[in-house]
Amino acid sequence: MTASDITPIETLLKHPTTQTAVADINSDTLDRRAFIPYRCKVFSNRFVSLEDQPQYRFAINREAEKQLPDIINNSIQRVVAGLPDNSDSQSYFFKKRNIGVVFSGGPSPGGHNVIAAIFDAAKDANPESKIFGFILGPEGLLENRYVEITAELVDKYRNMGGFTMIKTGRTKIDSKQKMRLSKGTCQELNLDALVVVGGDDSNTNAAFLAQELKPYGIQVIGIPKTIDGDIQIRTEDGQTLCAISFGFHSAARAFAQNISNLCTDASSDLKYWHVCKVMGRVASHLALEAALQTHANLTLIGEDLADYVDAERLKRAKERGEIDYTAYGMTLRHLSRLICDSIVRRAANGKNYGVMIIPEGVLEFINEIQIFIIKLNTIIAQYNQIHDIDFHTAFHSLDAKLEYLRRLSRGITEKQASSIWNARDDELFNDLPSFFQEGLLVERDTHGNFQFSQVNTEKIIMDMVKDYLNILKEKGEYKVGIDGERFLYTMKRANLDPELIGTTIFRNYKDDCRLDDKKGCYYLIKKNIISVKTLKQAIVSGGIITDDENVPPSILDIFKKSVPNFKTQSHFYGYDGRGSSPTKFDCNYTYNLGLTAFALIANGATGQMAVIKNLEHDLDMWEPLGVPIAKLMHLEERKGKLTLVMEKNVVDTNSNAFRIVEAMRERWLAADNGGDHYRKPAPVRFQGKSEEDKPLTLVLNSI
């Protein structure tokens, strides 16, 4: 091509094809923005009211009664069609309102639809109403930084992922001063109500704000947000009022797509174990859902590990007339052994590859780590209380932190803290690899939570796995099984007697496979053959060659194929899923949460969380409710102190979904001579139907 043949760049840029190809907005985004979410049946009425539901009961925490007296006696309320025939209620419903909305914590797909629905419902009730979005989360509320939500702004973000419209943050409203600032902002803006879209900690904030602002006539409503899926609400007698928080489905679908692609990769080139860490600060709900959608070979569920009992150990102790308390709960060492066992069993069947899912928060359920986390949380919190400068500023480097801990263990510094950290703790802590020490000492978030996403969990586990696999390799226990058919073919080509060679080098030649039925059968090299030298010794003593002869290349080739090379690829699925576009389920769910929030506000409720009951069923069964946040509170250790917070829900090991995954474990591990059982989840789409249109966890739990 000569220079004169080249189209000038200006012409190229103006070309319609270029313009369409490089436009910021593509047709898919336009279609997505135009999608009109489903409205729960009750919202087809312009006027709705609330009906108390006394049949749903919760055990109330004493401390919640004490700290939240004005909202603790709220009832559970159902949004019902029509208004009481009373003109006061009608004029209250349709009055002009100012409503503030704040996102809090990590982004979760669908948040924009909460705002869109509040906007639509409020403007529909009274076009003069105003909606304000606080910028950068609770910080915006404290600093009175907001944007007025307009139709144009809402339309730009309908059905779109992220919290981009008004951003988010993790500031906690945890002091009298911050409460005062929040109240000041609400009063300056003349707010009638504030909607807090957040997780357990943010809804805790919402409850305290509701208590504080009630005397001033400002209502506060919470919305259950978090991809972690740990906001679930069940009554005292186990009835589900909220099966999952919003965003969980979209994030899980994104993770499952990626993990499923790795299953395809692993089973194509047969050389990697893909290690997939998936988000979920504590609870393993996302890992469980990803397992159901993909059938990855091995999925750890933190909650399951916490319940672990080493039956063998207990039995041995009982024989000695003792109780072995260390048999309860899982240690890191034991966990690595269990993972190795799965890897070794698959390799024995010719599958030295696979896909493993590790929940981000798994370490929380490992005894020894949990103890370190609690102790270090307390030490850091106590340090911050006593000193003007915070722990992480005072001790910049890992060495400085370790030195402080060493001094604590010797009682040289703060008395109270030193009783928590003794010489044994210090010794055990110093045995950990430095990247892990650093991980355990990372700065806690504003709520005092340990930040698991900052810790290289999979590295900690996989380093131990690799070490132990090397030991098993040296012992001759970790070997790649040799395909019987291939063995026979290789021997025939080399003019060697398969029967003679097979019985000499394999430990299961006769046991597992008959000569006339070698297909799908895997032979394992004998344990004592771990090198070319030991291979030669075996075939010399088997009379195949003499001491002076070399090992025939075909036998050498078989041996080399049996030597495992454990190669891993690590992946972290978290921020990508958190930023994904909401699924149709989440678009519909969040829009109805927003409508429910407005229904609660327009009927005078405060301290309530908007939820949708029956999410696990078809849309026409969805039921909008208001649930008192104060009744969902309990005491939890935070920053070294027992604190009143909304209770998180971790995976219930008695749930259907967990028990099904547990029952399928052996099949999905596929440590046999059959194929893998990977499952391809349907692509995320707005049209058509697929099994994953709702979280599979919910579908199974509803059986």
User: Among all residues, which ones are annotated catalytic?
Assistant: 228
Nearby residues of 571 by Cβ (< 8 Å), 6 or more positions away:
258, 262, 274, 275, 276, 277
Give the three-class secondary structure for 212: helix
Does 452 help bind ligand FBP (rule: CB under 6 A)?
yes
Q: Which residue is nearest to ligand FBP (CB)?
A: 105
Ramachandran class of 454: left when φ > 0, alpha when ψ lies in -120 to 50, beta otherwise = alpha
CB 201, min distance to ligand FBP, A: 7
**Which 453-482 positions form the footprint of ligand FBP (CB under 6 A)?**
453
Query: CB-wise, 451 or 470, nearer to ligand FBP?
Result: 451
Specify the stretch interacting with ligand FBP by CB under 6 A; choose among 103-111, 342-350, 412-420, 670-678: 103-111
Specify the stretch interacting with ligand FBP by CB under 6 A; choose among 28-36, 225-233, 287-295, 652-660: 225-233
Query: CB-wise, 281 or 613, nearer to ligand FBP?
Result: 281
Does 169 help bind ligand FBP (rule: CB under 6 A)?
no
Query: CB-wise, 162 or 199, nearer to ligand FBP?
Result: 199
Does 589 help bind ligand FBP (rule: CB under 6 A)?
no
CB 442, min distance to ligand FBP, A: 11
Q: Are 395 and 384 spatial neighbours (Cβ–Cβ below 8 Å)? A: no
Specify the stretch interacting with ligand FBP by CB under 6 A; choose among 104-112, 308-316, 616-624, 630-638: 104-112
CA atoms of 238 and 312, how far apart (whole Å): 34
Which of 64, 71, 99, 227 lies at the binding interface for ligand FBP (CB under 6 A)?
227
Residue 35: closest CA among 580, 576, 585? 585
Which of 192, 303, 360, 586 lies at the binding interface for ligand FBP (CB under 6 A)?
360
CB 226, min distance to ligand FBP, A: 3
Does 105 help bind ligand FBP (rule: CB under 6 A)?
yes
Binding residues for ligand FBP, rule CB under 6 A, total: 14
Does 210 help bind ligand FBP (rule: CB under 6 A)?
no
Q: Which tokens is 92 given?
A: 């209250």
Does 199 help bind ligand FBP (rule: CB under 6 A)?
yes
Which of 37, 100, 106, 681 lies at the binding interface for ligand FBP (CB under 6 A)?
106
Nearby residues of 474 by Cβ (< 8 Å), 6 or more positions away:
530
Query: CB-wise, 203 or 384, nearer to ligand FBP?
Result: 203
CB 278, min distance to ligand FBP, A: 9
Amino acid at 448: G
Query: CB-wise, 280 or 628, nearer to ligand FBP?
Result: 280
Residue 249: closest CA among 277, 224, 229? 229
**Which 361-420 positions form the footprint of ligand FBP (CB under 6 A)?**
none
Sign of CA dihedral 431, 434, 440, 443: positive
Does 285 help bind ligand FBP (rule: CB under 6 A)?
no
Query: CB-wise, 289 or 360, nearer to ligand FBP?
Result: 360
Specify the stretch interacting with ligand FBP by CB under 6 A; choose among 33-41, 100-108, 295-303, 587-595: 100-108
Q: Residue 179, CB half-sphere, CA atoms under 13 Å: how many?
A: 13
CA-based angle 148:173:387, to the nearest 5?
A: 140
Q: Are 76 and 241 spatial neighbours (Cβ–Cβ below 8 Å)? A: yes
CA atoms of 135 and 169, how far apart (whole Å): 9
**Which 539-578 positions form the footprint of ligand FBP (CB under 6 A)?**
578
CB 580, min distance to ligand FBP, A: 12
Q: Which residues of 437-475 are buried (b: 16+ CB within 10 A; e: fewer)?
A: bbbbbeebbebbbbebbebbbbbbbbebbeebbeebbee
**Which 22-41 positions form the footprint of ligand FBP (CB under 6 A)?**
none
Specify the stretch interacting with ligand FBP by CB under 6 A; choose among 105-113, 134-142, 502-510, 669-677: 105-113
CA atoms of 355 and 351, how far apart (whole Å): 11
Which of 226, 352, 606, 701 lies at the binding interface for ligand FBP (CB under 6 A)?
226
Which of 39, 112, 281, 444 lies at the binding interface for ligand FBP (CB under 6 A)?
281
Nearby residues of 425 by Cβ (< 8 Å), 6 or more positions away:
372, 375, 409
Which of 279, 287, 306, 491 lies at the binding interface for ligand FBP (CB under 6 A)?
279
Across the beta sheet with 98-103, the strand order is 48-52, 77-81, 623-628, 608-613, 219-224, 193-198, 98-103, 130-134, 146-148
Q: Are 281 and 302 spatial neighbours (Cβ–Cβ below 8 Å)? A: no
Residues that bind ligand FBP (CB under 6 A): 105-106, 108, 199, 226-228, 279-281, 360, 452-453, 578
